[in-house]
């Protein structure tokens, strides 16, 4: 019975990792679509929204069934508990990607201000955190989670910097207001995605050590 559960948990982890990869590519593609004003790419992000929702449901059902049938304990239970939380965070990241993609369609016709300020740079940082959190989950190790608190502070700082820069453009010329409001909202979404990366890291930490921590 124990061995059966070990196999099922492997399967569950690989499902969560697939979902994680999907969320990350959605986010990357949404920002790329915004940057290159590629509405086609933005549309594909919108299409992938249903796929990530389907994965969320399927993984949740699978995890709950494992709890009912195998009464997992110890690391097995912690892995399932972490997976159940992670899929919620990944779904939210997917939702932010969708919102960014929608904005990309709206902003596709006029050139961007100052190369989109620091949004692409900020997006890279956030994606890096999500990737590292997923790697830690895959290998059940803590090393990729070191410095998460500092990295999250950096994301917060980038948000404020984008915020201030956008305000400056708005004061310079009222015609910039619509664009800049969108930039601020997107930066806010990215900042939230960074928070979710931290939440995922906390769950992975619990899975590996059995101890609850708070990164931020």
Q: Which residues bind other proteins (CB under 8 A)?
A: 1-3, 5-6, 71-78, 209-211
Nearer to other proteins, 2 or 111 (CB): 2
CA atoms of 133 and 135, how far apart (whole Å): 5
- Residue for token pair 């070990």: 6
| Smallest gap from residue 136 Cβ to other proteins (A) | 18
Nearer to other proteins, 78 or 182 (CB): 78
| Smallest gap from residue 26 Cβ to other proteins (A) | 34
Nearer to other proteins, 3 or 150 (CB): 3
User: What's the length of the chain?
Assistant: 216
Residues near 168 by beta carbon (within 8 Å), at least 6 away in sequence: none
Nearer to other proteins, 50 or 74 (CB): 74
| Smallest gap from residue 149 Cβ to other proteins (A) | 23
One DSSP character per residue, the chain reads -HHHHHHHHHHHHHHHHHHHHHHHHHHHHHHHHHHHT-HHHHHHHHHHHHHHHHHHHHHHHHHHHHHHHH---HHHHHHHHHHHHHHHHHHHHHHHHHHHHHHHHHTSSSPPSGGGTTHHHHHHHHHHHHHHHHHHHHHT-SGGGTTHHHHHHHHHHHHHHHHHHHHHHHHH-GGGHHHHHHHHHHHHHHHHHHHHHHHHHHHHHHHHHS------
Nearer to other proteins, 11 or 51 (CB): 11
| Smallest gap from residue 75 Cβ to other proteins (A) | 6
Nearer to other proteins, 40 or 212 (CB): 212
| Smallest gap from residue 142 Cβ to other proteins (A) | 15
| Smallest gap from residue 209 Cβ to other proteins (A) | 8
């Amino acid at each position: 019975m124990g061995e059966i559960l070990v196999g099922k948990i492997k399967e569950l982890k690989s499902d969560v990792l697939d979902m994680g990869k999907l969320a990350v590519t959605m986010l990357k593609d949404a920002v790329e679509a915004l940057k290159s004003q590629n509405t086609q790419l933005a549309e594909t992000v919108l299409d992938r929204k249903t796929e990530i929702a389907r994965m969320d449901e399927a993984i949740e059902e699978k995890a709950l069934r494992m709890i009912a049938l195998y009464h997992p304990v110890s690391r097995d239970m912690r892995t399932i508990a972490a997976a159940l939380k992670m899929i919620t965070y990944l779904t939210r990241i997917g939702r932010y990607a969708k919102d960014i993609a929608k904005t990309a369609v709206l902003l596709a016709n006029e050139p961007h201000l100052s190369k989109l300020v620091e949004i692409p740079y900020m997006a890279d940082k956030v994606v890096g955190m999500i990737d590292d959190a997923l790697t830690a989950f895959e290998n059940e190790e803590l090393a990729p989670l070191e410095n998460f608190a500092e990295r999250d502070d950096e994301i917060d700082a980038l948000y404020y910097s984008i915020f201030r820069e956008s305000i400056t453009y708005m004061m310079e010329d009222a015609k910039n207001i619509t664009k800049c409001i969108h930039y601020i909202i997107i930066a806010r979404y990215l900042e939230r995605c960074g928070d979710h990366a931290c939440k995922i890291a906390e769950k992975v930490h619990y899975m590996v050590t059995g101890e609850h921590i708070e990164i931020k």
